[in-house]
Structure 1
């Protein structure tokens, strides 16, 4: 269990701003005193964070993300203006609407706070929490005339995620999962409507057989994202189980090493068709399209 000590003073080390905010994520009853919040606002406004190397800030930020309520750290940082300095890509999501069920729209930034707490509820590792935090950043760049829809937000978000990960020098595991979740989360949410061939293509694309744990992390983020919407707290996420069944069928058709190499286009196409048909049978579905 991670313990977090309240910083004894503010102003001596700019990173104490993050340390104090992280206390709110780790200590259930901790509240930043009003006088400390005033001091935080003044420090940020005076540029205390401007000279901080983001790489040096990453350990404090990641510790806060691993708290029991990481959203509280983000709320403190946002309240004093530090989030806009450290993670402007995330800060920009507040005030952006996106489609939902009931109510019909939610605020993307507020949704992300609920999502990151959901990852904490399942005791997710750091890479999963980081990926969950960033996977909607492209929605802040969506044309306003299309709101609350966010077509192609993945393409807009990819350079943003890459830039954030480079800025903080995050571990490769965190970066790779963040990019994977960005690209694939919405497809996972649409899994029920996908044909077997499309599911097979996704499993190939995410290298699910080579990286099964990373595939499970993708499903975990998607499940948490689903449960972060109003009225879905604690709900089942059947698309994850559907894709696990598909994965089992898909992996069961992997060719033994003694069989011809799949670098041959004809062999590769035949192997893909076998896997897709295995998925269709496993899901008891007629959803099939030619590769």
Structure 2
């Protein structure tokens, strides 16, 4: 987690918390993410009453972000998000995320999952893997374009990436002043995560084009963060928590093969083809040669 994102110390006094019911709601939810148990029912009832009274309306975005970042950085971010949802605070603070609960998405077994519940498992998997903060933030928001997909298409989601996903991710990030690296990865995941999941169906040229499109050569650290996020997303589906994610290993092998191409000896317009041939050889399958 970068220095400018590190949540401040738990230095807020008890008096300050009593004087700011809104901060109390957020702080209790954030603390839940670092505890073994959730928030007790009496506390949740009090938080619900405070939210219903409108205490969150005038809370400064930087204060909201500080507590959200604190919870996302903890070992079980889902506990914060569940607590915020149970007291109706999530609908006030992150309506784009709250709207994902109850929306179906295609899966294997079972054949559908609730996107909101899937999101909770994804952020917890990111925490379990001690993923960088940018990965955790991307896991939180990269699916927000799916909340209002046409009902006749569900559980499949069409046109959610550019038409709905991008503007919502940008709006959330602008609202809280989210750092550029977090916004950048969230937008990249919105555009590419599902394509990464389908990498085994691609030919070598398409894989190479993907690596170039995500700038895996120029930004290898961001590429690794994307692979981590896709791994977390994969493992969040039922029955996959302990399974390896072969698409990430496959794309890393493809990237390594591309790096073995002598760029200086190849004309620019022939570089993509040379890299594709290297990928086909590295993956050792004839179906990737064309």
Q: TM-score, normalised by structure 2?
A: 0.91
What is the deviation of 1:24? 0.8
Q: 2:229 aligns with which of 199, 221, 228?
A: 221
Q: Distance in 1 between matches of 2:107 and 2:206?
A: 25
Match of 2:171 in 1: 163
Pair 1:217–1:69, CA change in 2 (3 A): same
What is the alpha-carbon root mean square deviation over aligned residues? 2.0
Match of 2:148 in 1: 141
Any conservation in 1 of the 2:277–2:289 contact (CA below 8 Å)? no
Q: Distance in 2 between matches of 1:160 and 1:91?
A: 13
User: Do residues 233 (structure 1) and 244 (structure 2) align?
Assistant: no
Give structure 1 regions of 4+ aligned residues with deviation exceeding 3 angstroms: 1-11, 287-290
Q: Distance in 1 between matches of 2:40 and 2:169?
A: 33
Q: Distance in 2 between matches of 1:150 and 1:62?
A: 29
User: Do residues 195 (structure 1) and 193 (structure 2) align?
Assistant: no
Give the number of equivalent residue pairs: 281
Q: TM-score, normalised by structure 1?
A: 0.91
Q: 2:114 aligns with which of 90, 107, 115?
A: 107
Alignment of 1:6-85 (within 5 A): 8=14, 11-13=18-20, 14-29=22-37, 31-85=38-92
What is the deviation of 1:34? 2.6
Provide structure 2 residue ranges, at least 5 long, that are not aligned to the other structure: 1-5
Q: Distance in 1 between matches of 2:230 and 2:262?
A: 26
Alignment of 1:193-272 (within 5 A): 193-253=201-261, 255-256=263-264, 267-272=267-272
Q: C-alpha offsets along residues 86-118 of structure 1, whole Å, 9 cap, x if unaligned?
A: 100000000101111111111010010011100
Q: Distance in 2 between matches of 1:6 and 1:139?
A: 37
Q: 2:157 aligns with which of 150, 156, 179?
A: 150
Any conservation in 1 of the 2:71–2:80 contact (CA below 8 Å)? yes
Provide structure 1 residue ranges, at least 5 long, that are not aligned to the other structure: 261-266
Q: Distance in 1 between matches of 2:111 and 2:225?
A: 28
What is the deviation of 1:23? 1.0
What is the deviation of 1:134? 1.0
Q: C-alpha offsets along residues 117-171 of structure 1, whole Å, 9 cap, x if unaligned?
A: 0001101111000011111111112101100011222122111101111111011
Q: C-alpha offsets along residues 204-254 of structure 1, whole Å, 9 cap, x if unaligned?
A: 111111111110110111111111111111111011100000000112226
